[in-house]
Amino acid sequence: MAVRTTSWAFFGMLFAMAAAAAERPAPPAAAVSAADSFPVVTDVRLGGDESQTRFVMDLSRKIDLRAFTLADPYRVVLDIPQVVFQLAPKTGEAGRGLIKAFRFGLVMQGGSRMVFDLARPARIEKAFVVDAADGVPARLVLDLLPTDRESFLRKTAAETSRADLPRAKGAEADSGDPRPLVVLDPGHGGIDTGTKGPGGVEEKDIVLDFAQRLRDRVQKAGKYRVLMTRTDDTFVPLADRVRIARDAGAALFVSIHADSLPHGEGDAQGASVYTLSETATDSEAARLAEKENRADVIAGVDLKSEPDDVAGILLDLAERETKSLSIQFAHRLVGDMRSATRLHKTPLKSAGFRVLRAPDVPSVLVELGYVSNRQDLQSLLSDGWRNRTADSMAQAIDSYFAAHMAGAHAGAN
């Protein structure tokens, strides 16, 4: 079909564009804003009904696109070069016809993405971009027609023979640096905002800032190396976060998130620390894991193409030790964080988080608090609270290594 270039050629083009952008000489003193260098999306519209749905997007200039479908849940994904979305805050929350809702944002440097949730199976009838002419902006047009599940699956399988996003680079695999490596994993990013609080507060921003503060503290004494799974507003698939930690030989993996309860489902507050288990400790933990695991669905990653490289390894001895170390570290975290912040009434829980599935890296997921709770939100947005809580977590990391690396250090001396 004409709408699809091969994915690697497409990403090659994106990288070439990103590289070209990077090589450009620095702009003069009056800084050139992102809006000047990237195409700008100024408006989107939905038309039609369940028998035919059209999506139209106005752009400052023509771009290339790649359109494909994903199943379970039914989605249409549009991969485009990096653009600036100048759209109203609630854009995409309401759908029309075959489109239930849609999201958009950066998925990597040089690449933006739109993900459409479908009300039922649909096929891409047309996807194209018309150049600007006679004062009318450039327009991207996506036409969808209903189809049945079987045809949808057949088409999807043909379109997505490989994973959609480029693989994470295995960073610093063999640096020769003997210091333990701590991988900090700020949740979400880019197209995946994470949970949203009042006034446009987004989880992805809170946790990135927090992780950077924690990184500075863990690095300060020079005893540990720190690697972040993301350092900017970019989406990273869950499996890549695990892969980054494993490839880099991490000694500890700390994923950082903030939670929220849906309106009308009561109030909860305080920080929680989660470890991996097949069976969730309670229904709230199960709900949370399901929500955090949706990150890939939200960003348009095809879960079927993600190799489950740790499947069936649960009874492995290495994993049993990893699990035990994860729980010991979780206990230390809760102990030290207690002095800095309010904890949830049951602060230690476990559930099936995809991001905690490295069989050989002790891993925990920290929910810093609830953006749905007024007091927690105030804390989460406060410099003082972030610094204090990051201090307490750095302290827990240090005491964890002091207890578990003692033998290794003695051997090295």
Summarize as ranges the residues that interact with Zn ion (CB under 5 A): 187, 194, 257, 292
Pick between residue 83 and residue 244 the one whose CB is nearest to Zn ion.
Answer: 244
Pick between residue 153 and residue 286 the one whose CB is nearest to Zn ion.
Answer: 286
Q: Which of 85, 377, 374 has its CA nearest to residue 203?
A: 377
CB of 79 to Zn ion, least distance (A): 24
Sorted by sequence, the CB contacts under 8 Å of residue 191 that are 6+ apart come out as: 103, 104, 105, 106, 107, 112, 113, 115, 235, 298, 299, 300
Pick between residue 284 and residue 292 the one whose CB is nearest to Zn ion.
Answer: 292
CB of 258 to Zn ion, least distance (A): 7
Sheet bearing 252-259, strands edge to edge: 225-228, 181-186, 252-259, 363-370, 271-276, 343-351
What Cα–Cα distance (Å) separates residue 259 from each residue in 202, 203, 269?
Answer: 11, 8, 9
Question: Dihedral (C-alpha) 145, 149, 150, 156: value to the nearest 10 degrees?
Answer: 70
Pick between residue 4 and residue 291 the one whose CB is nearest to Zn ion.
Answer: 291
Closest CB to Zn ion belongs to which residue? 257
CB of 291 to Zn ion, least distance (A): 7
Pick between residue 180 and residue 194 the one whose CB is nearest to Zn ion.
Answer: 194
Pick between residue 39 and residue 369 the one whose CB is nearest to Zn ion.
Answer: 369
DSSP category for residue 262: P
CB of 203 to Zn ion, least distance (A): 5
Residue pointed to by tokens 């003082």: 384
CB of 257 to Zn ion, least distance (A): 3
Pick between residue 249 and residue 347 the one whose CB is nearest to Zn ion.
Answer: 347
Pick between residue 42 and residue 281 the one whose CB is nearest to Zn ion.
Answer: 281
C-alpha 307 chain-centroid distance: 18
- For residues 258 and 186, give the distance between their C-alpha atoms in angstroms, rounded to a whole number: 10
First vs last Cα of the chain: how many Å apart? Answer: 64
CB of 170 to Zn ion, least distance (A): 24
CB of 98 to Zn ion, least distance (A): 29
Q: What does the buried/exposed string (b/e) look like for 42-76 if buried means 16 or more CB atoms within 10 Å of the residue's CB?
A: eebebebeeeebbbebbbbeebebbbbbbbeebbb
Reading the block at residue 354, the tokens are: 């995809």
CB of 12 to Zn ion, least distance (A): 32
Tell me the torsion sign for CA atoms 86, 88, 90, 91: negative
Pick between residue 246 and residue 257 the one whose CB is nearest to Zn ion.
Answer: 257
CB of 284 to Zn ion, least distance (A): 14
* 3 state SS for 94-121: CCECCEEEEEEEEEECCEEEEEEEECCC
